[in-house]
Amino acid sequence: MRKDLVQAAEWYRRAAEGGDPNAQFQFGTPLTSTSILARDDDFFLVGLMLTNGEGVPQNLGEAVAWYLKAAEQGHQNAEYNIGIAKFLFPLLLPFIPF
């Protein structure tokens, strides 16, 4: 069986939006406003996938948004990647709050 990461991500997204807590955890989204948030590593890994175009179309702006979510929870590698993005892509500076 061939792995189709794009299709898998789409099904996880649909299930997560439908309220499935397991899919929400796997997809890396907050569960609910009263439950625990997804781990900072999940946000960081989604950012990496978007940066490298692994299983999803490459999108550096969206990657920075996910790195910001991870950095807000104290993920040091996400903070580093935001710094790299600021250096390499100065046009993103207005969209990066720190």
pTM: 0.58
Residue 95 clears pLDDT 60, i.e. is over it: yes
Termini Cα distance of the chain: 44
Residue 93 clears pLDDT 80, i.e. is over it: no
Residue with the two structure tokens 């625990």? 36
| CA torsion angle 13 14 18 22 (round to 10) | -50
Residue with the two structure tokens 């989204």? 29
* Domain residue extents for the chain: 1-35, 39-98
Task: Give the model's pLDDT for residue 22.
Answer: 67
**64-74 average pLDDT score:** 89
Q: How many residues does the chain have?
A: 98
Helix (H, G, I), strand (E, B) or coil at 84: helix
